[in-house]
A = this chain, B = another copy of it.
């Protein structure tokens, strides 16, 4: 069995106010943070966890988040850096369908999209305050139609991906486990990856954007259910302790800058 290799793909950065990162806590002022994908070259498939943001979409719909993404940081270029092509990807593991986590799903029409069933159901009809977060569902025209209350056509369905809709913790492949961390969104997944000769890595996703969220037990300001989101902070601590895992936060520049990025791997 070949050893698992894990690549961090740099997808550029966004900047939002500190009150959005630390709910009701701040302090205010812009915080620029990284957006990245995780490519896992595994005996059982080529998995990608999250796919960052689509630059033109962000520039059009949410320019206030000040998106920065060089051509080298676009997802196909990043995958090439790791030595693969987009069509090699077998599974897209989705933390959730917010704009900065599924913007590149469209590059993998051949892959199975693994998502929490609640996330899929919720993205079909998000409440008003989440409409912008779910604005980039271009990877699934049928889902996009449902969100907008439009009837999809047969050809729309033809262009939609195949899904594996799940709930609870799910070991997708040996040592690659989706960890249910609800609250930030309706169906949010963190990801635990076991690697040979080193501690497992627990990718928090937006259950904890930075170490300070966990230290202060303060969730991010974008959320659907603050009680569940707070429970998910505790869940991350528990899973980390149980597995002796190293935490990789979703949006923290100081840590991100120290990580190995593709073509290097873990």
Partner of A221, one of B19, B29, B225: B19
For residue A128, which residues in chain B have a CB less than 8 angstroms away from its CB?
Answer: 217, 230
B20–A127 contact, CB under 8 A?
Answer: no
| Number of A residues, CB within 8 Å of B | 22
CB-CB contacts of A208-227 with B at 8 A, as 1s and 0s? 00000000011101111111
Q: In chain A, residues 24-65, which have Cβ atoms closer than 8 Å to a Cβ of chain B?
A: 24, 26, 28-29
Q: In chain A, residues 107-130, which have Cβ atoms closer than 8 Å to a Cβ of chain B?
A: 127-129
A163 within 8 A of B: no
B29–A129 contact, CB under 8 A?
Answer: no
Would you give the shortest CB distance from A237 to chain B, in whole angstroms?
A: 13
Known interface pairs A129-B226, A223-B226; 16 further A-B residue pairs with C-beta atoms within 8 A, sorted by A's residue number? A17-B28, A19-B20, A20-B24, A24-B129, A24-B221, A24-B222, A127-B226, A127-B227, A128-B217, A129-B218, A129-B219, A129-B230, A221-B221, A224-B226, A225-B225, A226-B226
